[in-house]
Chains A and B, each alone.
Chain A
Amino acid sequence: MSVDTDQGVDITDSGSSINNRKNNFVRYVFFSCALVTVLTTLGIILVLVQGSIQFFSEVSLIEYFTTTNWSPVIEPRSYGVLPLIWGTLMITVGSALVAIPVGTATAIYLSEYADPQVRRTIKPTLEILAGVPTIVYGFFALSFITPIIQTFFPQTGTFNAAAGAIVVGIMIIPMVSSLSEDAMSAVPDDLRNAAYGLGATKFEVSTSVVVPAALSGIIASYILALSRAIGETMAVTLAAGMAPQITGNPLEPIQTMTAYMVDIGISDVSVGSIGYQSLFAVGLTLFAMTLSMNIFSMWIRSRYREEYQ
């Protein structure tokens, strides 16, 4: 790199003051860039709250949170958000059933058993899964997962909650495996060696020493992954359908909060109508859920972190 010595060694008063003024100006420019991130957060909150206020001036909070029929655009209208929340929870719980066992076992294998060469290859390969656009997962669910489900359960429709949950689960495996593996690799070898010294087997060291020691990081990775599953949009829109209903059957179509927002986004709902306003009410509900989970995850990591020298 080249240091511009013409200006750099200018020791006259006038030169320094120009440089100082330039320096201060640049400082403000950079500060404004950083400020954009704060404004983004404020903007999100403002937009969601403002739209929601308009929505809740026409719909009571009690109806929104306690009734079980969601149809804000089609007559007869009703505004019970529970079917959308139920749909989101089905996807989230279903994807957790896939991603948490698979991701945790993968992390244990990579951290404790795999040799470094294998780990260096497999970890980035798995992370490709997180980089694939979610629309591609939606297509994968429709063209691959759903036909497989249909061979076992012929009554399954084209759109079903199970296919959505499975692809979202696949999508978040690398979040669980990578973050958990980081936490396990950070456990110092002294702890492992101490356990081996007591006669523990590798299985006992992995499950009774390493996993408990890394537990805060592992749990934090679960929560982050679930928060991602809650906000996941295109895959569940394509795979799980557009039918807001409360059902226990994963083979039936459902609608998540995000899929509802897409539904309104692609239809011609006029600005200011109740359908348009409902976007922001549902958006605020979604934002509140993911934000609280992200904050919870950070809190767990900082509260329960074991510091090793």
Chain B
Amino acid sequence: MSIDTTTPFSDATGDIERKRRIGRAFVAICFASTLVGIVALVALIADVLYESWGWVTWEFLTYPPSQSVDYFLNGTRGAGMYPAIVGSIFLIALTAVFTIFLGVGAAVYLEEYAPENRLKSFIEANIANLAGVPSIVYGLLGLAIFVRAMQLGASLIAGALTLTLLILPIVIVSTQEALRAVPDSQRQAAYGVGATQWQVTRDVVLPRALPGIMTGTILSLSRAIGETAPILMVGAATSMFVAPDGLRSAFSAMPMMIFEWATLPQAEFQHVAAAGIVVLLTILLLMNAIAIFIRNKYDPRS
């Protein structure tokens, strides 16, 4: 910063007044910028609620989709996103099973077992890089490996495996943080009574870190449930009229249905898409609320 040292006293009051004005203008600009993000969020939610008003009905949650927009209207036969809702729930449940096993396993290895060597830093750098890979690239990976090479087809399990690889880096990092928060004295105490490393991990570290692990995993799964691009590349269907009934069955998912409706030319389908978004965001909100509840209830610091 440049402080004017030539005339320190002659025009001090004017100078201070000018600096005050600059300061006030600067705060105003920064505060206005902060409001931009918040206003955008409010506008987004208001827009979705306004467009979907009257379109989220019980029939919308319990009937299969229809090509004719009239069926979606309240009071008519009924059309909705039932197969996509069930598809998304199955997809996320499967993803959760794979993710918890692989994510916790990898994090436990890195935090509890791995010696501080080049292999460990390589794996950690690799995980950081994977977190920055665009989700559609994971879709290509799933398409080539799970759908084609392993011949799983455009199935529920291929979609779940693809989403697992997508969120694995986030789950590993959040689980590592939860494991790191377990005080070392507790490990030492267990070693002191003769426990092996596996016993220490299973009986001391994991129970203590469980709330943190759950919070991180649920938050990651709530990201997976809104992902469209990877399951689109894997081949999730938009015109599914029944819920999936097995690991190998074709499936639809909520974001796929929303994408389909949003691209249809009839203006009424904008309302149907908005209704789908309301359902998706409600489920997201629920998952986040559960995660925050677990954190607040079991966090030893609070």
A: residues with CB less than 8 A from B are 1-5, 7-11, 19-20, 22-23, 26-27, 29-34, 36-38, 40-41, 43-44, 47-48, 50-51, 101-106, 108-110, 113-114, 122, 125-126, 128-129, 131-140, 142-144, 170, 173-174, 177, 195, 198-204, 206-209, 224, 227-228, 230-234, 238, 258, 261-262, 265-266, 271, 279-280, 283, 286-287, 290-291, 294-295, 298
Question: Which B residues form the contact surface with A (CB < 8 A)?
Answer: 1, 3, 19-20, 22-23, 26-27, 29-34, 36-38, 40-41, 43-44, 47-48, 51, 101-106, 108-110, 112-114, 122-123, 126-130, 132-141, 143-145, 148, 165, 168-169, 172, 186, 190, 193-199, 201, 203-204, 207-208, 222-223, 226-229, 232-233, 235, 238, 255, 258-259, 262-263, 270, 273-274, 277, 280-281, 284, 288
B27 touches A271 (CB 8 A): no
Interface centre among A125, A137, A142, A203 (most CB of B within 10 A): A203
**Nearest chain A CB to B116 CB, angstrom units:** 14
21 contacts between A and B (CB under 8 A): A3-B195, A8-B193, A34-B123, A37-B106, A37-B169, A47-B141, A104-B33, A109-B31, A109-B34, A113-B30, A126-B38, A135-B255, A139-B277, A140-B43, A143-B51, A144-B44, A173-B40, A207-B26, A262-B232, A294-B128, A295-B129
- Which residues of chain B are near A238, meaning CB under 8 Å? 259, 262-263
Assembly CA distance A198 to B130 (angstroms)? 46
Known A9-B193, A38-B123, A265-B232; contact A106-B33, beta-carbon cutoff 8 A: yes
Across the A-B interface, the 8 shortest Cβ-Cβ residue pairs: A231-B134, A133-B226, A33-B105, A105-B33, A30-B109, A109-B30, A208-B1, A294-B132
> In the complex, A269 Cα to B19 Cα: how many Å?
64
Determine the chain A residues whose CB is within 8 A of the CB of B186 once the complex forms. 1
Q: Is the interface of A mostly helix, strand, loop or mixed?
A: helix
Inter-chain contact B34/A47, CB cutoff 8 Å: no
Out of B26, B114, B222, name the residue touching A206 (CB < 8 Å): B26
Smallest Cβ-Cβ distance to A209: which chain B residue: B1
- A128 near B41 with CB under 8 A, answer yes
Q: Identify B140's interface contact among A20, A31, A132, A283, CB under 8 A.
A: A283
Residue of B nearest to A230 (CB): B134
A22-B196, A44-B133, A258-B229 known; A31 vs B141 contact (CB < 8 Å) = no
A47 / chain B contacts, CB cutoff of 8 Å: 140-141, 144-145
Known contacts A201-B19, A290-B134; is-contact A261 B33 (Cβ 8 Å): no
Inter-chain contact B199/A7, CB cutoff 8 Å = yes
**Known contacts A37-B130, A170-B40, A30 near B203 by CB under 8 Å:** no
In the complex, chain A residues whose CB is within 8 Å of the CB of B198 = 19, 22-23, 26-27
Identify the closest chain A residue to B195 (Cβ): A8
Of B22, B51, B139, B259, the residue contacting A203 (CB under 8 A) is B22
Contact B1 A224 (CB under 8 A): no
**Given A131-B223, A143-B51, A227-B132; A34-B259 close (CB under 8 Å):** no
Minimum CB–CB distance from B290 to chain A (whole Å) comes to 14
Using A43-B141, A202-B23 as known contacts, say yes or no to A142 and B228 having CB atoms under 8 A apart. Answer: no
Chain B residues near A134: list those with CB within 8 A.
Answer: 226, 228-229
Query: Total A-B residue pairs with C-beta atoms closer than 8 Å?
Result: 288
Known contacts: A10-B194, A294-B129. The answer to whether A233 contacts B199 by CB under 8 A is no
Set of chain B residues within 8 Å of A279, measured between Cβ atoms: 140, 143
Docked complex Cα distance between A32 and B105 (Å): 8
Known: A51-B144, A122-B34. Is A37-B172 also a contact (CB below 8 A)? yes
CB of A139 within 8 A of CB of B232, answer: no
Instruction: Tell me the nearest residue of chain B to A39, going by C-beta.
Output: B165
Report chain B residues within 8 Å CB of A231.
133-137
Contact B274 A143 (CB under 8 A): yes
Contacts of B27 in A (CB 8 A): 109, 113
Return chain B residues, CB-CB under 8 Å to A132: 44, 226, 281
Write the nearest CB–CB distance from B165 to chain A, whole angstroms: 5
Partner of A29, one of B43, B105, B203: B105
Q: Which residues of B contact A103 (CB under 8 A)?
A: 33
Q: Which chain A residues lie closer than 8 Å to B259 at the CB level?
A: 135, 138, 234, 238
Contact A1 B207 (CB under 8 A): yes
Contact partner, A201, options B23, B32, B140, B172, Cβ 8 Å: B23
- Say whether B37 contacts A136, CB under 8 Å: no
Contacts of B193 in A (CB 8 A): 3, 5, 8-9
- A203 to B19: give the CA distance in the assembly, Å: 8
Contacts of A36 in B (CB 8 A): 102, 106, 165, 168
